[in-house]
Amino acid sequence: MSDKQNSHLVIPERIQIEGVFACNASCIMCPVHAPSERKKGVMKLELFKEIIDKLEPYKEKINKVDLWGLGESLMDKKLHLKIKYAKEKGFKGLAIATNVELLDEETAIKLFEAGLDTIIFSIDGIKKETHEGIREDLNFDRVRENAERAIALRDKGGYATRFVVRLYARSAIMMSGKRIVSIGLHVFLKIKKILLFVTMYTYGVVKLRTWERLKKCQKFQLKFHATIYLTA
């Protein structure tokens, strides 16, 4: 690409790379199992490396790399290799989000060793019935055990990985009308070493006028965030 073309490039501060489009859970608010023309699966390591190589010249402008999309990150058995590759190339702010069910000891250590900066736990309550009522097909006791073990391993090994807990505020759901949009509202709380944020999805009829305005904002949003889907 020429310098002139390069000067017009918009490089987002935050890049999201969808490593997995599939999930071992069925959460009540999630469309992952809805019919889709997109093929389910895991992004190949070679493709991931190719994406990272192409982004490398712009890495100073990229502050965060989110390694998840619509799916469970830990279904990718080569995730630690992807993280290692991106870290070695000098990318910062690497994060995954996980429902924690597959976070066994070996996986946790591999992620820490690879240099992962952030793990976001999706845990929706301190009671079994609350969590399992939202995150169907998951076992709260195993999720809790996995999360607590990972934190202990991180502390014992002195790894730099930070943990964030994300909650889904079910009570905030309101549904009406046929046209629906979700708006995420993140509330951040810092409790000891763990950052907690609550995602509230509110639903409602969106007037066309508002939607048109949102579309006009897309160019502006691209400066901050771009998503690369599974097949790139």
Q: What residues line the site for ligand SF4 (CB under 6 A)?
A: 23, 25-27, 30, 32, 70-72, 99, 122, 135
216: number of Cβ within 10 Å: 9
Contacts by 41-49, CB closer than 8 A, 24 or more apart: 41/230, 42/75, 42/76, 42/77, 42/78, 42/230, 43/17, 43/18, 43/19, 43/76, 43/230, 43/231, 43/232, 45/78, 45/81, 45/82, 47/231, 47/232, 48/17, 48/19, 48/82, 48/85, 49/82, 49/85
Instruction: Quote the least distance from Cβ 21 to ligand SF4, whole Å.
Output: 9
Query: Minimal distance in Å, beta carbon 100 to ligand SF4?
Result: 9
| Residue nearer to ligand SF4 on the CB measure, 25 or 86 | 25
Q: How far is the CB of 215 from ligand SF4 (least distance, A)?
A: 26
Nearer to ligand SF4, 72 or 108 (CB): 72
Q: Give the residue with the Cβ less far from ligand SF4, 118 or 122.
A: 122
User: 72 or 76, CB closer to ligand SF4?
Assistant: 72
Q: Shortest approach of ligand SF4 to residue 124 CB, angstroms?
A: 10
